[in-house]
Structure 1
Amino acid sequence: MKIIKPVSNPLANLHNKTKNTELKVLLIFNKLSDFRSEIYDCFLSQIDGRADVDLYIPQINHQNASHFAEVIREKLNTYDYFVIMLHATHINEDILKTINSIPKEKLLILDKRNEFIRGEYACVYQDFEADIYEALSNAKPLMTKYSALNFVIQESYFYSISIMEGVSHFAQENNLQYNIYTEIEDNIIRKNELYLILSEHFLADILKRCNAQNLKIGKDVGILSYNETPIKEVLSGGITVVTTDHCQLGRTAAELVLNGKKEHIRNPFLFIQRNSL
């Protein structure tokens, strides 16, 4: 693995772990997290030494978009593939211009399709609205004991609107009372209600408030968390999650690279039942 760090010289501190490979891939994440690390690990596992993979984590904002463009421009002839997973709030007009400058046979977009990326390119994506609607439909038998569904989001989450539309569609179709919250207030926690929570920070806050009110998770209050992380398997006896299959996303991306295909593939979405629902 070669790591290009977001320092004054973004091409410094390179370290090569793969040898004797001809196919070169630049994997671009806006940041690292538990689920991005899983995508990365599964991508490398599926590549299995058949390509030389570099990881680039740019600090993208309006001020340094030109720096990102410079790095990509300098490396266009170095890499056979640019595999890009960026937070949508970072994809402004300048970033789109840079992405569109990459030959489409070299471009693979992860996680979310973008209508402003021109031409035929490879993509492994989530369908946020359809995914949450189908997941809630699968969980419906477990939700009957709750009187309301509360969707707790951070407005800055780039996929919030699409997920909110899926939640609203499900609730209206099933005549289920639902509320949408963008911050945690003192009266938000109510007995016999279900909480779908996108933010890890909000999840921790709600769990603490439930404990303070002596409300039992999975009995008095239902918790459904978005995106699987290892801690959720053991937190509060097990947190039920709805999540894209991050490992499969990485594997599928690797296969598209290795096979040179320009397909758009919807990633599987999972409902993992645990004790909190």
Structure 2
Amino acid sequence: MKLNLEPNKSKVSQLVEALSSAISKGVYKAGETLPSIRVLSAKYNLSRDTVYKAYQELREKGIVESTPTKGYFVFNRVKNIFVLLDIFTPYKEDLYNELTSKLHEDYNVDLFFHHYNERSYNNMILDSIGRYDLYLITNFQNDVYSKVLDRLDNTKVLLLDLGKFKKDKFSYVCQGFDSTLYNCLMSGLDKLKKYSELYFFIHEKSEHPKSCLPYFVSFCVDNGFKYNIRTKDIKEIDIQPNRAYLISRHKDLVDFVKICRKKDLEIGEDVGVITFNDAPMLEIIENGISVITTDFKMMGSCAAEFVVSNKKIQTYIPTKLILRGSL
């Protein structure tokens, strides 16, 4: 077990982290006796009180147990899985339900959301170190690597959904946002041709990666569409006949539908609309809303495979355009 003590950190917390990491990596197996307080104290030049406090903290976390005759040993327990997603949505619920449905009772899954709050994201990961066997994480941003991930054992991490950055050392199950947008729009070109102008509403507060915008522009230029990109709230004046709209947020889609009803514009005839990330409601409102989406159930299934097998997986889930009445 490696223990390189840093002077500005608590010796107890560093020993806890080192022991937890060693247990997670299988250096110490379930039921195996751990080095005694005397042995660890001598090996790493620590006081016995420091080692004792570290073992007590590990006991409180349910990682080790002790008996008078056996000393400290690794607790034979269920596998704890840390799942950190961005926000709660119907499609992320699909991912989570598919994941948990494929795991038996020997797995305990703790679910967290960072809501694109970087401080919360970092703190939740730092607080999880040594407490979990595997980490399933949606990165804070799609195109910027979060350095806090370096604190985790990369063999125990699966990156979910977002991942337009160098990530070869990790397992990942992601979706594409850039060229996939171009390809999806091309698959709906016949429907889009009846509109002369395309508007992309991608609100400045939208979590949808802005890196897709050049591909939207390329599609419009290549196929002779006038185009416009808006990053503010949808206004009545924006919604005009003979236009098709891409809308990144479902909240803005609701405003769009309200405006169309107020202006007596028929969706799918007078105006067209495509949104992102499928949800049950999109199948039934306004004869169905066309959607660019990935298969989040497949993402959850792949995540479950990683958890059960603990084998490295690196894949992108296909993204497609589902055509409905809104075009």
TM-score (structure 1 length as normaliser)? 0.82
Cα shift readout 1:82-107 (whole Å, capped 9, x = no counterpart) = 00014428x988xx332211101101
- Aligned residue number for residue 214 of structure 1: 264
Percent of pairs with identical residues: 28
What amino acid maps onto 2:148 in structure 1?
T
1:180-259 pair list within 5 angstroms? 180-183=229-232, 184-259=234-309
- Aligned residue number for residue 166 of structure 1: 215
CA contact (8 A) 2:197 2:243 kept: yes
Cα shift readout 1:208-232 (whole Å, capped 9, x = no counterpart) = 1111111111011111111111111
Pick aligned residue for 1:145 from 194, 218, 226: 194
CA contact (8 A) 1:152 1:197 kept: yes
CA contact (8 A) 1:245 1:268 kept: yes
Pick aligned residue for 2:313 from 238, 263, 266: 263
Matched, 1:79 2:132: yes
Cα distance in 2 for partners of 1:59, 1:160 equals: 15
- Aligned residue number for residue 122 of structure 1: 171
SS in 2 for 1:83: strand
TM-superposed deviation, 1:45: 1.9
1:35-74 pair list within 5 angstroms? 35-49=91-105, 51-58=107-114, 61=117, 63-64=119-120, 67-73=123-129
Change (3 A) 1:173 1:98: same
Cα distance in 2 for partners of 1:59, 1:133 equals: 28
Cα distance in 2 for partners of 1:264, 1:158 equals: 23
- Aligned residue number for residue 227 of structure 2: 178
Matched, 1:154 2:210: no
Cα shift readout 1:10-60 (whole Å, capped 9, x = no counterpart) = xxxxxxxxxx97443211123322111111001112335563322233567
SS in 1 for 2:238: coil
What amino acid maps onto 1:84 in structure 2?
I
Cα distance in 1 for partners of 2:122, 2:213 equals: 33
What amino acid maps onto 2:249 in structure 1?
S
CA contact (8 A) 1:248 1:268 kept: no
TM-score (structure 2 length as normaliser)? 0.70
Greater shift after overlay, 178-187 or 49-58?
A: 49-58
Change (3 A) 1:187 1:58: closer
Cα distance in 2 for partners of 1:97, 1:87 equals: 10
- Aligned residue number for residue 4 of structure 1: none
TM-superposed deviation, 1:270: 2.2
TM-superposed deviation, 1:156: 2.6
What amino acid maps onto 1:154 in structure 2?
H
Cα distance in 1 for partners of 2:322, 2:239 equals: 23
TM-superposed deviation, 1:233: 0.7
Cα distance in 2 for partners of 1:71, 1:142 equals: 50
Greater shift after overlay, 250-259 or 215-224?
A: 250-259
SS in 1 for 2:110: strand
CA contact (8 A) 2:172 2:314 kept: yes
For these two proteins, the number of residue pairs brought into alignment is 251
Which ranges of 4 or more aligned residues in structure 1 deviate by more than 4 Å?
Answer: 62-66
CA contact (8 A) 2:187 2:321 kept: yes
- RMSD of aligned Cα (Å): 2.4
Greater shift after overlay, 79-88 or 134-143?
A: 79-88
Larger RCO, structure (CA 8 Å, separation 6 or more):
1
Change (3 A) 1:24 1:174: same
SS in 2 for 1:128: coil
Pick aligned residue for 1:31 from 87, 104, 110: 87
CA contact (8 A) 2:202 2:249 kept: yes
- Structure 2: where are the runs of 5+ without partners? 1-75
Structure with the greater alpha carbon radius of gyration: 2
